[in-house]
């Protein structure tokens, strides 16, 4: 965990966990929480095409992590 991530976690004590039926819904929800001031966002691998959602969020000020990682392939994505 980098220093800035740790500081953000201590400051907000909050990580938004995003689960959705579609990539578009997941990205929309994540962007909404970031606009609301929550920068730490976890996208679960139950979201279809989760890696593309995580990449799309990289430009909106979110610090993005992966959740519900169940396979080695998911860990490498």
For the chain, 77 residues long, give each residue's pLDDT as a single digit of tens. 666 888 888 888 999 999 999 999 999 999 999 999 999 999 999 999 999 999 999 888 889 989 989 899 988 88
Residue-level pLDDT at 2? 63
**What pTM was estimated for this model as a whole?**
0.84
Both structure tokens of 12? 């907000």
How many distinct structural domains can be found in the chain? Answer: 1
Instruction: List, in sequence order, the alpha helices (H) in the chain.
Output: 3-12, 23-35, 50-57, 72-76
Residue-level pLDDT at 15? 94
| Structural domain boundaries, residue 47 | 3-76
Instruction: Taking the CA atoms of 48, 52, 58 and 63 in sequence, report the sign of the dihedral they define.
Output: positive
Residue-level pLDDT at 61? 81
Residue-level pLDDT at 26? 98
């Amino acid at each position: 965990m980098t220093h800035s991530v740790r500081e953000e976690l201590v400051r907000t004590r909050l990580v938004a966990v995003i689960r959705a039926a579609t990539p578009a819904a997941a990205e929309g929800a994540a962007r909404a929480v970031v606009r609301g001031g929550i920068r730490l966002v976890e996208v679960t691998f139950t979201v279809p095409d989760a890696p593309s959602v995580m990449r799309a969020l990289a430009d909106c000020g979110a610090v993005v992590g992966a959740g519900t990682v169940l396979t080695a392939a998911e860990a490498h994505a």
